[in-house]
Structure 1
Amino acid sequence: MHIKQLIPAFVAAAALAGCSPTYNWRDYTSGDGSFKVMFPAKPSTHTRSVDLGGIRVDMTMTAAEVEGTTFAVATAVAPDPALARATLPAMRQALLRNIGAADSAAADGAPGGGATLEVDAVGKGNGGPVRLVGRFVAKGARMYQVIVVGKPGAVPPEQTEQFLSSFAPQ
């Protein structure tokens, strides 16, 4: 085989190696070891102080964005486990308020402040409609919000389910 015949093969191999899938799933463990999840791209992390139903906590948000859809996990620690469970509705309500969506009891996985709440709502954000899909979980004194937010037609069901189902509090 001549070198001239190998050049097109090398060019094709280099082009394929340079391509990356839209969703580049990777295992992620939080810096403090409090959860594991699979992100569809490299995440970044930020911490800020927030008020959740009357308690002030430092909330850490780890998020990645793919094609305008954000995949995020936020976590905070309450003073005790009962307060963590009781704060879940406030977390859920704050996100619904952020997108101007009405609260619907039908979206609750565990009404009345149980250990898990769910949400699937459409509202407005960034100048247009947005869809919010997620879960709010309490484990011990720690609270988690695991969410996917994007344009209603662009929130991919398979990737949303993969992200949500991969979440594991530790």
Structure 2
Amino acid sequence: MRRLPALSASLRLAALTAIAAMALQACSPRYNWRESSDNGAHFVVLLPAKPSSVTREIDLDGPRVEMSMTAAEVDGVTFAVGTAELPDAAAAERALAAMRTALLNNIAGQAQGAPAWPGKTAGLDHSMDLEARGVARGRPLRLAARLASRDRRVYQILMVGEEKSFTDENLETFFSSFKPT
């Protein structure tokens, strides 16, 4: 008879251990916000996970430039900041319009209203906020972006992904944390 209570105690201990592990896992943050920047330190921003970076040549309606993109993805949403330096500051407005068109084309999207994302735009020469909904690879997507310039540098600050994973808190944290340097 003693074996049955001992076995029962072992099962209880295993069940309690499993419940404790699940509780700890539930408490671990999926959004582990951390300060990040590009390799050239042209900005600082909070990203929700360890970022990765890539640089590639793009056409911004005239000038071909190297754009560096620093991004992190959590819960089906990509948080990214891209930056490039133009040959001439006079090309900034045209470059921002080209970025807007490319973003909409990437998700076969339509712009939605006139958003005003959180965060300061003081110190930027040009700034435009964009919200769009579209589809890529058969998935419905939402895009929230701020396209901005300062002198010859252009910035693309964006969140793109599944609608259900967008929260006001994440929009606030991400867009408010962006600072050009």
The answer to whether the aligner puts 1:133 opposite 2:141 as a matched pair is no
| Counterparts in 2 of 1:161 and 1:108: CA distance versus 1, 3 Å | closer
User: Are 1:44 and 2:23 an aligned pair?
Assistant: no
Which of 1 and 2 has greater Rg?
2
Query: Match for 1:88: what amino acid?
Result: L
1:5-154 equivalent positions in 2, closer than 5 A: 16=24, 20-103=28-111, 106=114, 115-154=126-165
Q: Aligned in 2, Cα 1:152/1:166: closer, same or farther, shift over 3 Å?
A: same
Task: Give, in whole Å, the separation in 1 of the partners of 2:91 and 2:74.
Answer: 34
Deviations 1:5-61 (A, max 9, x none): xxxxxx769x84996311000011321111000000000000011111122111111
Equivalent residues of 1:23, 1:41 under 8 A apart: yes
Name the Cα RMSD after superposition. Answer: 2.6
- State the Cα distance separating 1:141 from its structure 2 match: 0.4
What amino acid is the match of 1:126?
A: R
Note the residue ranges of structure 2 that are not aligned, 5 or more in a row. 1-16, 118-124
Identity of aligned residues (%): 46
Unaligned runs of 5+ in 1: 1-10
Q: 2:174 aligns with which of 146, 163, 166?
A: 163
Return the offset for 1:84.
Answer: 2.1
Deviation at 1:159, TM superposition (A): 0.5
Helix, strand or coil at the partner of 2:94: helix
TM-score (structure 1 length as normaliser): 0.82
* Matched residues, number: 157
The residue matched to 2:110 in structure 1 has which SS?
Answer: coil
TM-score (norm 2): 0.77
Asked if the contact 2:111–2:130 (Cα under 8 Å) also holds between the matched residues in 1, the reply is no
